[in-house]
Amino acid sequence: MPEIRDLDMSVKTSYQKYTLDFKFDAGTSRGVLKTKDTFFIKIWDSSSPEKFGLGECGPLKGLSVDDRSDLDEHIEKVLNAVSEQKSLPQNKEEAYLLANELVGADFPSIRFGLETALLDLLNGGERKLFNNDFVLKQQPLPINGLIWMGEMDFMKSQVDRKIEEGYTCIKMKIGAIDFEKEFELLSYIRSKDTECVLRVDANGGFSTQEAQQKLERLAELNLHSIEQPIKQHQWTEMSRLCETSPVPIALDEELIGVYAKADKIKLLEELKPQYIILKPTLLGGFQSCLEWLSLAEARGIGWWLTSALESNIGLNAICQFAAELQAPGHQGLGTGKLYHNNIASPLEVVGDFIRYNSTHDWDLSQLKL
């Protein structure tokens, strides 16, 4: 049962742990995912309990800095502090400020979840965090089609399906199986669609000794970019790769745990990547991502947004954030169909776009908040 606090004050909160079940074994270079634990948080004013904000705190196992066994204790601590507030934020700037003050830097997924819940409540508790055309006019966002690791036949079937569905941008995870087989599959994608925007994500799977050679091979396929070719925290090697790689490099895991503005500037100026990947759950929410993209744009570095395997609660928030930013290019936001027990929502994927279909309702009956 969820923990509920009632301190005879106007602001009320609750939370619930929820385990998402993958529809298939989701392979990455860090292993195979079968389930994912997440936490939903709820905030409301006792005078209007029918209106409530929902947020999601869902760190990635083995990757997020707040992937820890006592995460629920820290969620409860933060929500107790929220319950002690005399009033709720009146605009998004106040929501970001409150989340920063109550959470800090060590729990990025909680900060994202709190920002989301506060913005949701601020806008009437209808899962509409921002007033932009994604929600108001069902303006779709272009997304990439994701190819998960697995047996060759499984990966090939995913490719065929994405191409049949009309995806013009495909992202394939590499770095865990034999490189020649991965190269063969990427060549197959390119043969099927010569104009497709083709991205790969190594999740740090290349060794520093082999990375340059593999990047030169991959360049033959006219790739858009490669995410995190080597493990993070190897700045000398990563800086060299960003300078010499024939395939543009996008930093992903490298950004995790970097919160101070001065440290963000140092990373961008020393490594000089072509792109950065912004994942609010991993990087500390919307405000932190806003700082990253501002610093990146000032240095001519591109960016896009990607989900971190959130349920539709978190995915909806990131989609609306992407629309608010008018995010360029294809976003990594096509994860809504990954789970057997996702939260039913107005989000739907049509071709290679995701949109908010307001004719569909949210179904929160699975939750016990």
Candidates 139, 79, 216; CA nearest to 71 is: 79
Cα Rg, the chain, nearest whole Å:
20
Q: 73 and 61 in contact (C-beta within 8 Å)?
A: no
Candidates 216, 211, 201, 202; CA nearest to 246 is: 216
Q: What is the DSSP letter of 289?
A: H
Distance (Å, whole) CA 331 – CA 2: 33
Distance (Å, whole) CA 81 – CA 232: 34
Distance (Å, whole) CA 321 – CA 327: 9
What amino acid occupies position 150? G
Measure the CA angle with vertex 336, ends 335 and 337; round to 5°.
95
Distance (Å, whole) CA 6 – CA 205: 47
Locate tokens 């690791």: which residue? 149
Q: For residue 262, with 0-12 CB atoms within 10 Å meaning exposed, 13-18 middle and 19 or more buried, which class applies?
A: exposed
Order across the sheet with 11-28: list the strands. 3-5, 11-28, 31-45, 52-57
Q: What is the DSSP letter of 231?
A: -
Q: 350 and 167 in contact (C-beta within 8 Å)?
A: no
Decide if 261 is catalytic.
no
Q: What is the DSSP letter of 59?
A: P
In the beta sheet, which residues pair with residue 344?
A: 363
Catalytic residue among 12, 128, 173, 231: 173
Decide if 279 is catalytic.
yes
Distance (Å, whole) CA 323 – CA 315: 12
Instruction: Give the catalytic positions in this structure.
Output: 173, 279
